[in-house]
Amino acid sequence: MRILFQTRPDHLQRPGGDAIVIEALRQRLIALGFRVDLSGAAAADLQAYDAVHLFNLELMPHTFLQAENTRRRGHPYFLTPIYWSPGESAPWRGCAQPEKTARRLLPERAVDLISLASACRRCDGGVRSLARLPSLSRQRLRASVLTGATRVFASCDAERRRLLHDFPALSPEKVVVARFGYRAASPAPATVPPPEPGYFLCVGAFGPRKNQLNLARALRGVPGARIVFVGSAGPGTEAYRRAVLAEAPAGSLSLPDQPHGALPSFYRGARAVVQASFIELPGLVAMEAVANLRPGRVERIFLHGFKQRPPRAP
């Protein structure tokens, strides 16, 4: 059986937590005898495949276009949503400057349309992709992807409850819990030597959503504090990275992305591992840090919690 994993277009260029989840699942399926390929295209050729697995409902309209392409070709698809309710998304402080301004001045529907048009620029067909959409609401597009899936794999019970609360048309029988976990990657050398131990460590791409600027300001007055940032600047966030480093305590460093198997050496040298993000799903860095700060005692860590409040009663 051949399965195509469909993900974001920059999956290979910008590794992140979703890439770790995807690769771990891919390797597991390969070990079970399946053939699994990866594509970031919105309209991939599916002729050679029996099924498709989609990832990440945040990527609207890209994931919607992938789902529509799959449905047109008569293939079933599965979905790992990695979903965070828009009502509890990052505050305006966690957005890049243009979106900050839009969120403070425009109605929510207008902001949603601007974000959708911006995302379309990175899709096959560019902004013209808007004409192919049945709705200009990202939440309605997400609902379409969810209801068309054969199975939806939520990372925990709380995410499952949130999905069923936010999308009433979604059949509960479709949504099953498949918990994310941690398993050590094969050791790999770091591209730069780990710094002298005793630093605060922050792993992840630079950007307002990750909240590194407030982390830098919070630690600036802590005696002896220095921060090691591991991660590249996201699209359009190089100015944000420079601002973070300008506010960070003396001796702080910005290091490039590291091979997954090289991160344990950074965790073990850290005074503390800090995730200051406004939104962080599913917290893989935290799980990795716990596992590697106690070497030999933790083989696998499962995230049983979920950093979303439970749905309010109607």
pTM strictly above 0.85: no
Position 103 in a domain: no
Domain count, the chain: 2
* Main-chain phi, psi angles of 282, to 5 degrees: -95, 25
239 shares its domain with 144 = no
86 shares its domain with 149 = yes
Find the DSSP H helices in 149-257.
157-166, 212-219, 238-247
DSSP state of 32: T
26 shares its domain with 171 = yes
65 shares its domain with 161 = yes
Q: Which tokens hold the place of 151?
A: 């199975």
Which one has a higher pLDDT value, 148 or 11? 148
Q: How confident is the model at residue 210 (pLDDT cuts 50, 70, 90)?
A: confident
Distance of CA 193 to the CA centre of its chain: 27
Position 271 in a domain: yes
Position 185 in a domain: no
Owning domain of residue 257: 199-293
pLDDT of residue 314: 39
pLDDT of residue 9: 81
Window from 19-28, 126-135, 262-271, 293-302 with minimum mean pLDDT: 293-302
80 shares its domain with 167 = yes
24 shares its domain with 169 = yes
> Taking 80 as the threshold, does the pLDDT of residue 15 lie above it?
no
Q: Which tokens hold the place of 292?
A: 């590697």
Which has the closest alpha carbon to 182: 38, 53, 298, 55? Answer: 298
pLDDT of residue 216: 95
Distance of CA 41 to the CA centre of its chain: 18
CATH code for the domain in which residue 25 is found:
3.40.50.2000
236 shares its domain with 266 = yes
pLDDT of residue 103: 59
pLDDT digits (tens, 9 = 90+) for 131-165: 778 887 889 999 999 999 999 999 889 899 999 99
b/e 248-265 (16+ beta carbons within 10 angstroms → b)? bbeebebbebbebebbbb
168 shares its domain with 67 = yes
Q: How confident is the model at residue 304 (pLDDT cuts 50, 70, 90)?
A: very low
Residue with tokens 């529907």: 109
